[in-house]
């Protein structure tokens, strides 16, 4: 091939690259379909929230916004997928605390760095509650602590697995109350609740959404709310903090992030769209039905919020010596 033809071929390849979808630096965002990865199974609270946001994003942008469930590996599979995706705003993730703010402290060989995600927004939160079997001889946090101290190593607590928010919350209780309990990990919240109802396990830090109906039906007891303030859905139930353990906090949340190095302009546009969606009455009503409280705010506020959660749970993980191998 002559030098002239080589030159022509090179120019043609360059022009083809420039004309390819997503290749132009000056094209408006988004100009094609956007994918939101959920690192959990379909039907979960994370999944439902992601589909609500995807629908609003699609209507605002006039583009297809799809949700892809990439579950498994304690949410690390989905987290790593997004982390390694192109930083162009076309692959996002909506996830709970684990893949965004906690897992890097639990897994020594994690293949991504959650703190390097481009934080877009903290979307919503939901308080945990201290749920116990209905025949447990304790009707308050103080009575529970006294029972645990009188029966060292006999009180059992359920969780969705090692490193889950439920386990970390129970570890926080052990540290602040100076008690020891036995961890019983399950494969999800539903089997944990089933065994709590049956009396096979003593307590479970569950979300207010799933435990409240069981409490109202008399199938379990709720001793306290784990948020800093009382919950509107359970105004008669005190917080753990006001029950003698100041500083106690466990409020699972859901954040929106993008791959590291996503341009600030794209982050800002997605953030604005997310905040606008959270302020819509119909979205607020749907979140309320899920017992979710909207958060919103700027990307900078999201960074600060995620960091505060990492600090909280990092302290618990270090003091409780929790490591997932």
The pLDDT score that the predictor gives to residue 43 is 85
Residue 72 token pair: 């498994």
8 A C-beta contact, residue 120 and residue 53: no
d(CA 319, CA 264) in angstroms, rounded, equals 36
Higher-confidence position of 187 and 57: 57
Mean pLDDT across the chain: 91
**pLDDT tens digits for range 206-260:** 999 899 999 999 999 999 999 999 998 899 999 999 999 999 999 999 999 999 9
Contacts of 312 (CB under 8 A, 6+ apart): 249
Domains observed in the chain: 29-126+252-320 (3.40.190.150), 128-243 (3.40.190.10)
**pLDDT tens digits for range 33-53:** 999 999 988 888 899 999 999
Q: Which of 85-89, 124-128, 157-161, 193-197 has the lowest mean pLDDT?
A: 157-161
**pLDDT tens digits for range 115-128:** 999 999 999 999 99
Q: How confident is the model at residue 163 (pLDDT cuts 50, 70, 90)?
A: confident
Residue 153 has pLDDT above 80, yes or no: yes
The pLDDT score that the predictor gives to residue 5 is 41
The order of strands in the sheet holding 118-125 is 65-69, 34-38, 91-95, 253-258, 118-125, 293-294
Backbone angles phi, psi at 291, to 5 degrees: 65, 25
Residue 16 has pLDDT above 70, yes or no: no
Taken in order 107, 159, 183, 244, is the CA torsion positive or negative? positive
Residue 66 has pLDDT above 80, yes or no: yes
8 A C-beta contact, residue 306 and residue 116: no
8 A C-beta contact, residue 128 and residue 250: yes
Burial class (CB within 10 angstroms; exposed 0-12, middle 13-18, buried 19+) of 213: exposed
Q: How confident is the model at residue 26 (pLDDT cuts 50, 70, 90)?
A: low
The pLDDT score that the predictor gives to residue 1 is 46
Average pLDDT (72-80) is 92
Residue 6 has pLDDT above 60, yes or no: no
d(CA 152, CA 150) in angstroms, rounded, equals 6
The pLDDT score that the predictor gives to residue 10 is 41
Residue 160 has pLDDT above 90, yes or no: no
**pLDDT tens digits for range 130-142:** 999 999 999 999 9
pTM: 0.84
């Amino acid at each position: 091939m002559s030098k002239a033809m080589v030159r022509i071929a090179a120019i043609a390849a360059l022009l083809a690259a420039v004309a390819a979808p997503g290749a132009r630096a000056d094209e408006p965002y988004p100009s094609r379909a956007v994918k939101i990865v959920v690192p959990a199974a379909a039907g979960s609270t994370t999944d439902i929230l992601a589909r609500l946001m995807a629908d609003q994003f699609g209507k605002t942008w006039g583009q297809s916004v799809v949700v892809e469930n990439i579950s498994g590996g304690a949410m690390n599979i989905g987290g790593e997928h997004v982390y390694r995706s192109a930083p162009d705003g076309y692959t996002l993730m909506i996830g709970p605390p684990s893949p965004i703010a906690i897992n890097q402290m639990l897994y020594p060989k994690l293949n991504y760095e959650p703190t390097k995600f481009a934080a877009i927004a903290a979307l919503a939160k939901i308080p945990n509650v201290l749920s116990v079997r209905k025949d447990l001889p304790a009707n308050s946090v103080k009575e529970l602590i006294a029972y645990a101290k009188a029966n060292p190593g006999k009180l059992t607590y359920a969780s969705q697995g090692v490193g889950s928010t439920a386990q970390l919350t129970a570890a926080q209780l052990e540290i602040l109350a100076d008690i020891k309990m036995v961890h019983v990990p399950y494969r999800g919240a539903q089997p944990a609740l089933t065994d709590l109802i049956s009396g096979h396990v003593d307590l479970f830090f569950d979300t207010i959404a799933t435990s409240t109906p069981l409490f109202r039906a008399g199938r379990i007891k709720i001793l306290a709310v784990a948020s800093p303030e009382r919950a509107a859905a359970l105004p008669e139930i005190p917080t753990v903090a006001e029950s003698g353990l100041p500083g106690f906090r466990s409020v699972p949340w859901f954040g929106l992030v993008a791959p590291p190095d996503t341009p600030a302009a794209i982050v800002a546009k997605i953030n604005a769209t997310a905040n606008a969606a959270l302020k819509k009455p119909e979205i607020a009503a749907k979140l309320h039905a899920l017992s979710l409280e909207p958060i919103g705010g700027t990307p900078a506020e999201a960074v600060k919020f995620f960091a505060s959660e990492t600090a909280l749970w990092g302290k618990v993980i270090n003091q409780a010596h929790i490591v997932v191998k």
